[in-house]
Amino acid sequence: MKKIVLIGASGFVGSAILNEALNRGITVTAIVRNPEGIKISNPDVTIAKADVSDADTVAEICKGADTVISAYNPGWTNPDIYDLTLKVYPQILTGVKKAGVKRLLIVGGAGTLFVAPGLRVVDSGAIPDEIMGGVKSLGEFYLNTLMNEKNIDWVFFSPAGSLEPGERTANYRLGKDDLIVNEKGESKISVQDYAKAMVDELENPQHHQERFTIGY
């Protein structure tokens, strides 16, 4: 039975991944800032309140895990989201490596996907100003840090342009670096299908030290 650590398990994406993992009988240690945000009662989940901005704390909790999934997000309305993302994510990466965990799956962003040759989403004018700080910082972490990381088997899983509540259809497409759009030109995925694909990657690894993406 797989044993994983899930960072940010009470958030929008993290809670969907937690549900998907528990439904498959995976044992989860859920790292959260606010334990009261976890509404699930399940013998396979252990809740750990922790500050993931400290690499040693991350390392201590992650010891013995098969894989760490990180859905860390300082909060889209947090005015310090840009700085916090660039400060905390390297600590998470360092902590997971210190713990000796072989694999790190990261809930990525769509900002660094390409919408045309040489044009990324983040530079296309499609992203609202109010979330640009979070989009830019996560993209910079991916491009400047993760892409140069050779000492752990990391994956950066970018959602479609719109990630929203919906159904678990299991009917979607996966891609690499290009934004996936439907016949109407829309880029969408439900958080339930995103979670399914993330846990599929956990159970049956297909990507190594690279990014992949999803969309309908």
pLDDT digits (tens, 9 = 90+) for 1-24: 689 999 999 999 999 999 999 999
Distance CA 150, CA 167 (A): 36
**182 CB-side CA count, 13 A:** 12
Q: Quote the pLDDT of residue 28.
A: 97
Sorting pLDDT into bands at 50, 70 and 90, what band is 37? confident
Distance CA 216, CA 204 (A): 21
Give whole-number Cα distances, 130 to 75, 87, 109, 134, in Å: 12, 20, 15, 9
Residues 62-76 have pLDDT tens digits of: 999 999 999 999 998
1 by Cβ neighbours in 10 Å (0-12 / 13-18 / 19+) ranks as exposed
Structure pTM? 0.96
Sorting pLDDT into bands at 50, 70 and 90, what band is 34? confident
